[in-house]
Structures are given as structure tokens and as C-alpha cells.
């Protein structure tokens, strides 16, 4: 009798909560402005992309979209804030390979579960990294660079934008797949890494294609190969590492949209649909390609599957390469 009384008491509360959730979902996004968190500093690829898409979303949804930069810890700080936000569609994240694949594999303690604490919305595109050498370096192709590294193990260093970045992990994957001993030199961003490569302080580096392009065009550095599985439109004449002598090499950075776990599926589906329509606009497509992003249409389910595969991939690489934070 007591149990039945408790259950009867809970029924009105459950009905109220269900009605409230339905109203919130049905009214979305009319209730209040949408916050799009960028877990990196202003001015970078993620920030530029967020502002481009946010402006278009604002127009299509008839609601203000506020961009909030919450940088730190390779994207972890901003991503954690979104993971703990109410799952009502009003707090979103522009996440990356760093926040959702590399750091979960690299860091022993994460404040969130990349696979369980987010609702994947859409993979926005991938960006290839480039294997670069300084203009004065003797290697003019990947095979010559590998031979140089194996002739004197430990004598070469590669620069990256920082520990846990896609550039760093491109280098670790290169070492693992070529059996070379090359020392990682982490920098606080792409700019100082490129500066030292141009100046001859480091012999080689991995960098995003868009950042590297003007320096390649000026002749200050040489591009030996791109890290993605296929050639990039930004550097169409540069071979992939697989083509250049490292079969199976495929590493690309990526950008994506997430919502907190528990966000109503109808809102996630609506966001995916709106983003697909936005990316199809000629002016948006052109700007994304200018950032080096290569987009393939995908559903939330397809993106979720991709995310799980990326986490498994980087967990394996981090373990096999014995990479530590």
C-alpha cells in the first residue's frame, strides 16, 4: 500500500517533467539565445569556423547565437563546460580531434567522458597536416628524410603546436610507422613552431596545411607530404605520406559540433539539418575550403561512429608509441 501511494505521488511529477521537456523541445530555440562554446582562443581555425556557422545559424533559427571562447588544456576546459551544461539545446560546442579523441587517449584523468557526455551533432570537416622541412635541409622527399633519421637516431627533432595537438600526434604516428627515433619539440602554438622551422632551429615540423601554405609558397619551407589519406585541395601537388612511402598513414585534424548528452534527438536532428544546409551555401563552402576543411555530409549516427573509431585509434597509437603528457 505504501509503495502504491509513493508511485501515485510520483505520477503527477513525472507528467509535469515530461510536459516541461516537451514544451522546451517544442519551443526551441525561442526561449533564449544559444551559446556556442569554442574551446580555443579567438582567431584560430575553430574560432573562425564557429563565427562563420554561428552567423548563419542565427539567421536561420531566428535566434541570437553567442560565441564564447573558453580556451585551455587543449580544448578540455571549454568541452567540460558544455558536458556539464543543461541538455536543452541552448549550449553547444565546436569540438575538435584534440578535445574529443587525442586528449581522452593521452590524459590519464579527464573531467568528462568524450564518448558518453556529449550528443554528436555533425562532423564539420577534416584538415590535413603537412610534413615540412626547412629550406636548408638536405631531404627533398620522405624516403630521404627517413634515411637521414635512421642514419643518426635521435639527431632530428620535429616541432608541433603543442603536446596533444594533431601536429604532435602526426609526428608520433610518423615515428611509430617508420621506426625512426625523432625528438618532439612542443611549442605554444603554430606561430613559434613555424618561426623556428624557418629560422633553422628545428629541421622538420608537422603543421596544418592552411598555416603552412604561405610559407611553402614563399620557399621558406618545403612540403614533403600531407598526413591525410588523400591529397588536400589546399596542396593538390603534394603527395600523401602513404604515396610517399609510408603505407596506411592517415592522420587528419577535424572540427565538429556537439551538444550535451541528453539533448532531445529532435533538436540534434534539427541542428544537423540546418548545418548541412548552411555548409551547402556557395559562400560558406568557399570559406570552409579556404580554411582547409574538407566536408562530407554525415548524420549524427555516422558522426558518433566516427568519434568512437577516432578514440580507439588514438588510444592505440598513444599506447604503442608510449606517448606521455
Domain count, the chain: 2
CATH number at residue 203: 3.40.190.10
Q: Are residues 163 and 218 in the same domain?
A: yes
CATH number at 48 reads: 3.40.190.150
Largest distance between two CA atoms of the chain: 86
* Grid cell for residue 51: 563565427
Does the residue 27 lie in any domain? no
Q: Are residues 56 and 92 in the same domain?
A: yes
The whole-number average pLDDT for the span 206-214 is: 90
Cα dist. 111→13, 107, 172 in Å? 32, 10, 25
Contact 315, 105 (CB under 8 A): yes
- How far is it, in rounded angstroms, from Cα 126 to Cα 19? 40
Final residue in a domain of this structure, among 226, 243, 266: 226
Residue 119 pairs in a beta bridge with 259
Q: What is the pTM of this model?
A: 0.82
Domain that holds residue 211: 128-226
Whether 21 is covered by a domain: the verdict is no
pLDDT of residue 26: 64
If one counts every other C-beta atom within 10 angstroms of the C-beta of residue 84, the result is 12
Which regions of the chain does DSSP assign to beta strands (E)? Answer: 34-38, 65-69, 91-96, 118-134, 156-160, 182-186, 204-208, 221-226, 252-260
74 versus 282: the higher-pLDDT residue is 282
* Cα dihedral: 76, 78, 84, 89 (round 10): -130
Task: Say whether pLDDT at 8 is over 90.
Answer: no
Final residue belonging to a domain, choices 177, 211, 226: 226
Are 43 and 85 in the same domain?
A: yes
* Same domain for 91 and 120: yes
Weakest-pLDDT range from 42-46, 202-206, 213-217:
42-46
DSSP type of residue 31: S
Q: Is the pLDDT of residue 284 over 80?
A: yes
Q: Is residue 316 part of a domain?
A: yes
6 falls within a domain: no
**In whole angstroms, how large is the CA radius of gyration of the chain?**
22
Quick one: 162 exposed, middle or buried, by C-beta within 10 A (0-12, 13-18, 19+)? middle
Q: Provide the strand spans (E) within 188-263.
A: 204-208, 221-226, 252-260
CB-based contacts of 16: which residues, under 8 Å, 6+ apart? Answer: none
Amino acid at each position: 500500500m505504501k509503495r502504491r501511494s509513493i508511485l501515485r505521488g510520483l505520477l503527477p511529477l513525472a507528467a509535469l517533467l515530461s510536459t516541461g521537456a516537451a514544451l522546451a523541445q517544442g519551443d526551441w530555440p525561442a526561449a533564449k539565445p544559444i551559446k556556442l562554446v569554442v574551446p580555443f582562443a579567438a582567431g584560430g581555425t575553430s574560432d573562425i569556423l564557429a563565427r562563420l556557422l554561428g552567423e548563419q545559424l542565427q539567421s536561420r533559427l531566428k535566434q541570437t547565437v553567442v560565441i564564447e571562447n573558453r580556451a585551455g588544456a587543449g580544448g578540455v576546459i571549454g568541452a567540460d563546460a558544455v558536458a556539464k551544461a543543461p541538455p536543452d539545446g541552448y549550449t553547444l560546442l565546436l569540438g575538435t580531434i584534440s578535445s574529443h579523441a587525442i586528449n581522452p587517449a593521452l590524459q590519464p584523468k579527464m573531467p568528462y567522458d568524450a564518448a558518453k557526455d556529449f550528443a554528436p551533432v555533425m562532423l564539420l570537416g577534416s584538415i590535413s597536416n603537412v610534413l615540412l622541412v626547412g629550406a636548408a635541409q638536405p631531404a627533398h622527399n620522405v624516403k630521404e628524410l627517413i634515411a637521414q633519421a635512421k642514419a643518426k637516431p635521435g639527431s632530428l627533432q620535429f616541432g608541433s603546436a603543442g603536446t596533444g595537438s594533431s601536429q604532435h600526434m602526426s609526428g608520433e604516428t610518423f615515428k611509430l610507422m617508420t621506426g625512426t627515433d625523432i625528438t618532439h619539440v612542443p611549442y605554444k602554438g603554430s606561430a613559434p613552431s613555424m618561426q623556428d622551422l624557418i629560422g633553422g632551429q628545428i629541421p622538420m615540423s608537422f603543421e596544418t596545411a592552411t598555416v603552412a601554405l604561405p610559407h611553402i609558397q614563399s620557399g621558406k619551407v618545403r612540403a614533403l607530404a600531407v598526413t591525410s589519406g588523400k591529397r588536400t585541395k589546399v596542396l593538390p601537388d603534394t603527395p600523401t605520406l602513404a604515396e610517399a612511402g609510408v603505407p596506411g598513414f592517415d592522420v587528419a585534424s577535424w572540427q565538429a559540433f556537439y551538444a550535451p548528452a541528453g539533448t532531445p534527438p529532435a533538436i540534434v536532428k534539427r541542428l544537423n539539418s540546418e548545418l548541412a544546409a548552411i555548409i551547402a551555401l556557395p559562400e560558406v563552402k568557399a570559406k570552409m575550403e579556404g580554411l582547409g576543411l574538407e566536408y562530407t555530409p554525415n548524420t549524427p549516427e555516422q558522426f558518433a561512429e566516427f568519434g568512437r573509431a577516432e578514440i580507439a585509434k588514438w588510444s592505440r597509437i598513444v599506447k604503442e608509441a608510449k606517448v606521455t603528457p
